[in-house]
Amino acid sequence: MLHPVIMAGGSGSRLWPLSRQLNPKQFLKLTDNNLSMLQETLHRLAPLEVSAPMIICNEQHRFLAAEQLRQLGYEQPNIILEPVGRNTAPAIALAAMQLRAKGDDPLLLVLAADHQIRDTASFHRKVTQAQALAEEGKLVTFGIVPTHPETGYGYIQKGSALSNGVFAVSRFVEKPDLDTAEKYLRDGSYLWNSGMFLFRASRYLEELETFRPDIFEACKAAVLTASSDMYFTRVDAETFAACPADSIDYAVMEKTADAAVVALDAGWSDIGSWSALWNVSEKDSQGNATKGDVLLQDTRDCFVSTDSRLVATLGVQDLIIVETKDAVLVAHKDCSQDVKLIVERLKGDNRPEHLNHREVYRPWGVYDSIDNGNRYQVKRITVRPGAKLSLQMHHHRAEHWVVVSGTAKVTNGDRSYLVTENESTYIPIGQVHALENPGVIDLELIEVQSGSYLGEDDIVRFQDKYGRA
């Protein structure tokens, strides 16, 4: 049986403004199947004989990951939280070590949470083929049969054939320039490096200890002092922060004598840019891919996505147009790899648009900051059934709550009472309070904040069921 390890870190900055630091692309619904990229990755495993997956993600994304797993029926997910990003070699080591500490030594199927694979049947066949190699002690990676001279991926050169479609690894090569990528395509012995792997946990740790003992020891120390919080495993932050950062390719795969590559031709894409998403999207007769309320006139080969309003185009070609509630991107398709430069400028200017959307997800639900001005802010808040916001207080703001639908259980100082549809309540500055949804449908309310400071850091938590107090 395989043990899936899903790497769900990363920021996806080239898919801004849809992908943000606190809500990156692996948690977004980018394709037409109404699943996030993480959920699509998990859904793809269904026909294989696998155990419950292990997710590795950033501390900031823990509740996003847990909620998306809950939606797929994983009520007790296994999620390892990275306090800081240290690339793939340490991340995979954390997963392998946690399983070995429990006395298990499974075959690990290591997948990224943000890939698309259209031909799942071919993917399953190749995983089965790789499984046989991993049983023999090989460290297997999956190389994608290239369809064009891609400069955004690293490559793997095939060595001697081990079986049909399986090869020893001759070498790994960095992302090439266009001339080199064209040469690789003509050569026929090069595959795109997918970043997917299959090997036994103990074999990976043996090779990591041999070639990067510094990473091995740092991860071992971080796991030994790990703690559990709900369904999250928290490794020691200080110890893990001292771990060297390195990819599994550099740390292990380029050095081991037991690397093998399975050639995969299954409609794979890492959807690393808007042009890549346009490539894999359904298009109209003029080559346009659209999502949302879009009106096209004399428009060709464009990607147009809208979140909250009508977007109309006229007399344009080869453009990326993406609208969200707080930002609009217009770019030429040839420049889609450079969207990250816009994100860097936003960070440099200390603007919030790189960090989060207007809609912000919390473990209890979501809020949307629909209006703000001098000394006031208006939010639309949705609280899931059975969820509860922390018992808290604010030093600088008062809050008015108006229930739109559902029923709210309100703690307001020493009092606790219900507020139903078309009713309201008031929370004074400095008052200890809490909000809970005791019902079976979503609680929707409008919150009007007023005061001298309305930042999210003006929250003093006293109790919190999600471990944030």
| pLDDT, position 44 | 95
Q: What is the assigned CATH class of domain 2-269?
A: alpha beta
Residues 6+ apart with CB under 8 A from 280: 31, 116, 118, 267, 269, 271
Residues of the chain with pLDDT under 70: 469
* Residue 57, strand partner residues: 81
Q: Where are the domains of the chain?
A: 2-269, 274-348, 359-463
39-48 tens-digit pLDDT: 999 999 988 9
322-381 tens-digit pLDDT: 999 999 999 999 999 899 999 999 999 999 999 998 888 888 999 999 999 999 999 999
Q: Which of 123, 118, 94, 125 is nearest to 108 (CA)?
A: 94
| pLDDT, position 11 | 82
Q: What is the DSSP string of 194-206?
A: EEEEEEEHHHHHH
For residue 149, whether the previous peptide bond is cis, meaning omega lies within 30 degrees of 0, is no
Backbone angles phi, psi at 384, to 5 degrees: -70, 155
Q: Would you call 189 helix, strand, or coil by DSSP? A: coil
Topology of domain 359-463 in CATH is: Jelly Rolls (2.60.120)
Do domains 2-269 and 359-463 share one topology? The answer is: no
Q: Which of 270, 294, 9 is nearest to 150 (CA)?
A: 270
CA atoms within 13 A on the CB side of 211: 20
425-438 tens-digit pLDDT: 999 999 999 999 99
CA angle 327–296–370, rounded 5-degree value: 30
CA distance 383 to 68: 16
pTM here is: 0.89
| pLDDT, position 228 | 87
CA distance 279 to 30: 13
CA distance 343 to 354: 6
CA atoms within 13 A on the CB side of 333: 17
| pLDDT, position 230 | 79
